[in-house]
């Protein structure tokens, strides 16, 4: 019955997902599986440290499900869904920073008591560092760029996922690093856990504060220019797909050059029978009319992708 239908439809739905969506599902699934095992071990042994650590990561996985939904259907709706997903990740990162600061403050008071992280955290933290490194690598190409004034909602969403993997990696790495410091320094080491907690919190704040600021301005700023630019980029993507011969918008980026003009790079997937010159002219016109309306002159370069490869068409 329904199980058989699901088994038949599941591969088809997986194939229809965007590549970034499949990567996010793989990352969240592995991270959640490890955290569920950690939670089970913590409950079985009455280890509060394991339970708290696992619940923190599982809450983060729940937040990432909103990012996944935005990646899958975000192009069909206004960019508000993707902005809400980005803001949710920003709030979770802020909560992570506060938790690390609270831990550092508590441990700082035990400076001379030889405080150490529970030994039970070593294995799950080390495994999670490897998983987070894999997640950051999967989203490095599209998510590692700093958020600029003309970043689209989709770029912000991918950047948020990359920052989540980076932040969870910093938070998890403090446990094995602290143990390594104790092993190397031996009895000469007093309490270094507060230093690792402060360092992890500082790294998260440094990397995440541009995303936090822009997501807040775009969502809650009255008459915000950031929101206007994001909405114009979303309209641009929808208009580009309507060009005859265009099947998908692979990438659409814009940045302001030192000269003051906007430099745009658009990559489109087109059918084999599409007229290159017509598609390029239409794409430049769409991008200039939508993005250029909020930022001035646009110097736009269009790339077309077919089955035989990628063509960089001259301006």
Domain 2-220 has CATH 1.20.1510: yes
What's the pLDDT band for 285 if we cut at 50, 70, 90?
confident
What's the pLDDT band for 63 if we cut at 50, 70, 90?
very high
Q: Whole-angstrom Cα distance, residue 216 to residue 226?
A: 10
pLDDT tens-digit profile of 235-264? 777 888 888 888 877 777 777 777 667 777
Q: What is the mean pLDDT of the chain?
A: 79
What's the pLDDT band for 229 if we cut at 50, 70, 90?
confident
Q: pLDDT value at position 61? A: 95
Q: Is 175 helix (H, G, I), strand (E, B) or coil?
A: helix
Class of domain 230-312 as given by CATH: alpha beta
- The bridge status of strand 298-306 relative to strand 262-270 is parallel
Which residue from 120, 134, 149 is spatially nearest to 54, judged by alpha carbons? 120
Please state the domain extents for the chain. Answer: 2-220, 230-312
Q: Whole-angstrom Cα distance, residue 177 to residue 188?
A: 16
- The bridge status of strand 262-270 relative to strand 246-256 is antiparallel
Which two three-digit tokens encode residue 91?
A: 């709030």
pTM: 0.80
Q: For a pLDDT cut of 90, what percent of the chain falls above it?
A: 25
The helix or strand, by DSSP H or E, that contains position 299, with its residue range, turns out to be strand 298-306
Helices (H), 139-275: 140-143, 153-185, 193-220, 225-241
Q: pLDDT value at position 315? A: 42
What DSSP state is assigned to residue 110?
A: T
* Position with higher pLDDT, 305 vs 190: 305
HEC readout, 147-166: CCCCCCHHHHHHHHHHHHHH
Q: Is 311 helix (H, G, I), strand (E, B) or coil?
A: strand
Residues 130-147, mean pLDDT to the nearest whole number: 86
Which two three-digit tokens encode residue 127?
A: 């495994």
Q: Whole-angstrom Cα distance, residue 314 to residue 281?
A: 11
pLDDT tens-digit profile of 300-310? 888 888 755 44
CB-based burial label for 80 (10 Å; 0-12, 13-18, 19+) = middle
For the chain, the distance separating the N- and C-terminal CA atoms, rounded to the nearest angstrom, is: 56
Q: pLDDT value at position 224? A: 59
Greatest alpha-carbon span in the chain: 74
Q: Phi/psi of residue 116, each to 5°?
A: -140, 155
Chain centroid to Cα 267, Å, comes to 21
Neighbours of 96 (CB within 10 A): 22
């Amino acid at each position: 019955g329904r199980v058989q239908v699901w088994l038949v439809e599941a591969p088809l739905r997986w194939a229809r997902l965007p590549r970034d969506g499949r990567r996010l599902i793989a990352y969240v699934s592995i991270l959640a599986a490890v955290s569920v095992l950690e939670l089970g071990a913590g409950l079985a042994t009455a280890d509060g440290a394991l339970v708290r650590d696992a619940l923190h990561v599982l809450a983060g996985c729940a937040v990432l499900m909103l990012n996944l939904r935005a990646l899958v259907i975000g192009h069909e709706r206004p960019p508000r869904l993707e902005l809400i997903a980005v803001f949710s990740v920003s709030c979770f990162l802020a909560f992570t920073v506060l938790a690390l600061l609270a831990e550092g403050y508590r441990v700082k008071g035990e400076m001379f008591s030889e405080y150490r992280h529970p030994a039970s955290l070593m294995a799950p933290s080390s495994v999670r560092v490897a998983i987070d490194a894999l997640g950051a690598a999967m989203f490095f190409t599209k998510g590692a760029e700093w958020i600029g004034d003309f970043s689209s909602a989709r770029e912000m969403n991918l950047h948020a996922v990359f920052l989540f993997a980076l932040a969870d990696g910093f938070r998890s790495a403090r446990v094995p690093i602290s143990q390594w410091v104790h092993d190397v320094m031996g009895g000469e080491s007093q309490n270094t856990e507060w230093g690792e907690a402060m360092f992890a919190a500082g790294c998260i704040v440094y990397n995440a504060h541009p995303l936090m600021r822009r997501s807040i301005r775009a969502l809650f700023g009255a008459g915000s220019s950031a929101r206007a630019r994001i909405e114009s980029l979303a309209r641009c993507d929808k208009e580009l797909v309507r060009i005859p011969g265009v099947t998908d918008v692979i990438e659409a980026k814009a940045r302001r050059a030192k000269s003051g003009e906007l430099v745009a790079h658009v990559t489109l997937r087109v059918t084999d029978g599409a007229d290159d010159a017509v598609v390029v002219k239409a794409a430049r016109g769409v991008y200039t009319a939508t993005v250029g309306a909020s930022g001035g002159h646009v110097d736009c370069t269009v790339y077309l992708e077919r089955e035989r490869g990628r063509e960089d068409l001259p301006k």
